[in-house]
Amino acid sequence: MVAITAVASFAIPDFSFGFHLRLMRFIFIFLGYIAGFFGIGLGIFVYLCILTNLKSFGVPYMVPYAPVTNINSNGYFLEPVWRREKRADYLNTKKEKAQNHISMKWRYK
Amino acid sequence: MTDKKIGNFEAIALILTVIVNHVVLNLPKNIIASTSSASIINVLFISIVAVLIGYLICKLLEKFPRLDILDIASFLGGKWLKIVTGVLFLGYFLFTVSVILRSFSEGLKIIFFPRSPVAAIMILFLLAVVITNKIGFQAIIRSNLFMMPIFLFSILFIFFANIGNFTIQRMLPLFGNGTFTTFFSGLSNLFAFGGFAYLYFLPPYLKEDKGLKKITFISTITSGICLLFSVATLLFLSPNSVITEEIFPLYLASRNIQFGRFFQRLDAVFLLFWIISLTAYLSISFAFATRVFQKLLNFEYTKWYASLFALLIFGFAMIPENMYQITFIEGTIYQYVVLILIFGLSLALLIFANIKYYLLEKKKGAVSIDKAPV
């Protein structure tokens, strides 16, 4: 578990992105000390509530997973670039369509 | 994006929370105790009945878009009927939270904290519930949506991981104690779909008016599937006499899971998920209780009395003296409360409101209904 944690921490691209994790690590250690797995479970849920309540420039932090927005090419799996026809719902753009249905028209001439 | 509204997936996850948490506790055990080897047929039967009742509820709510049951009660019988309905539902939510909190805390004490007092476990749960309620209703709903696929997967995983230990012959005789027990007295197992209580309060919170039907059908069918897998797991795993005497039978089923020597004691991971799931359920019921209270008394804010409600729930949860009383309250009293309130009184209220709407429409033409802002 320690090895997995160490390797996973290298997945964070920027050093400053890891600051909040350093603080949260102590909070979860404290919760684990008080109530073990139970405390960690409660901490995870409260932390999740805080994250889902956050907004970044007007866009919810956990979008498109919570709240679920239009999942065409914005969900768990991404389509190829030439198939991404709609812009993300959470951006509230003026034009929803990013490109035509057949974007590579030269292929069919 | 309107912040105060919830989407279809969030609403589905909200209703599923009820069944997932009851499945973890004693719901499958109570179904097996009442219908014996016919539990699977009984679950299929009550799922079909629940879908039909859900369809009926959606049809009855069609005339009252964006109104919850308190507004409909106010339309039907004025302020007093609204207050009576509100008090009943408030009592239901507080009762549910207290019972589930005590039941799960007792189980957790037996498994993990044999030397800790139950009160301490309950206080920690309530602390998390109060904090999440102060963060906001939207946050709880979205967190629940985030974790719901994991909760559902855990129940399916227990079924498929235990397939090697199943004895399919425990399904026989097919109709268990008889067709009357399976289909008539077994109809009382409809209390498993207590999540319909949230359906009555959802319309003002939904982004799309027409989404209620989709939400009802998908959540009911998924609840039925979840219930079917959990009942099947327990029915095939152990004899009925063993299952009906156990606390947290699904947890005991998860203890049998073993993949070689590398993956063992996966029950701890499941318990972590179920603790998170229960906290979500308690937070949601708590939030609905505070909102009903807010609507009854026309308060502007809900956050200041969240702590008071938590104390009240703690007091109610401490009332039962032993595990037998808790099991009785959870199995029998909760069953009748759900059947009478959710499937009896509320449906009757909706039917009479629709009749009144029809008569008023015939008399006056268009009918306008006052509704309180959300």
B369 located within any domain:
no
In a domain, B284, yes or no: yes
Do B320 and B329 meet the contact criterion of CB atoms below 8 Å apart? Answer: yes
Which pLDDT score, from 0 to 100, does residue B374 have?
46
The answer to whether residue B296 is domain-embedded is: yes
d(CA A5, CA A49): 23
Q: Give the global pTM.
A: 0.89
CA distance B91 to B186: 26
B108 touches chain A (CB under 8 A): yes
pLDDT on residue B231 = 92
CB B136 within 8 A of CB B290: no
C-beta atoms surrounding B109 within 10 Å: 17
pLDDT band of residue A105 (cuts 50, 70, 90) is: low
Domain spans in chain A, listed from the N-terminal domain onward: 1-53, 58-109
CB B170 within 8 A of CB B315: no
Q: What CATH number is attached to the domain comprising B94?
A: 1.20.1740.10
Q: Is residue B370 assigned to a domain?
A: no
Instruction: Check residue A73 and give left, alpha or beta (phi > 0: left; psi -120 to 50: alpha).
Output: left
**Shortest alpha-carbon distance between residue A79 and chain B (Å):** 22
Quick one: pLDDT band at residue A104, thresholds 50, 70, 90?
low
Q: Structural domain tally of chain B?
A: 1
* Chosen from B17, B144, B275, B281 to mutate, greatest number of chain A CBs within 10 A: B275
Q: What is the pLDDT of residue A72?
A: 58
Q: Is residue B146 part of a domain?
A: yes
- The chain A residue lying nearest B116, using CA atoms, is A35
Classify residue B315: in a domain, yes or no: yes
Mutation target vs B (from A31, A33, A34, A38; most B CBs, 10 A cutoff): A38
| Nearest to B142, CA basis, from A108, A45, A98, A13 | A45
Say whether residue B6 is in contact with chain A using an 8 A CB cutoff.
yes
- State the Cα–Cα distance between residues B289 and B293, nearest whole angstrom: 6
Among A35-39, A57-61, B107-111, the range scoring the smallest mean pLDDT is A57-61
Confirm whether B83 is domain-assigned: yes
Closest B-chain CA to A34 = B124
Question: Tens digits of per-residue pLDDT, A62-94?
Answer: 877 777 766 555 556 677 777 777 777 777 777
Please give the ipTM for the structure prediction.
Answer: 0.88
Query: What residues have CB less than 8 Å from B22, skipping those under 6 apart?
Result: B100, B192, B194
Buried b (16+ CB within 10 A) or exposed e, B316-351: bbeebeeeeebbebbbeebbebbbebbbebbbebbe
Tokens of B94: 């507080």
Q: How many A/B residue pairs have CB atoms within 8 Å?
A: 90
Provide, as residue numbers in chain B, all residues whose Cβ is less than 8 Å from the Cβ of A48.
143, 146-147
pLDDT by residue, tens only, chain B of 374 residues: 345 688 888 999 999 998 889 888 888 888 998 888 899 999 999 999 999 999 999 999 998 888 999 999 999 999 999 999 999 999 999 999 999 999 999 999 988 888 999 999 999 999 999 999 999 888 999 999 988 999 999 999 999 998 888 888 888 888 888 888 889 888 999 999 988 999 999 998 888 878 899 999 999 999 999 999 999 999 998 877 777 777 788 888 888 887 777 777 788 888 899 999 999 999 999 999 999 999 888 887 777 788 889 999 999 999 999 888 998 998 889 999 999 999 999 999 999 999 999 998 888 776 666 554 44
- Is residue B374 a part of any domain in this protein? no
The residue segments making up the domain with residue B94 are 8-364
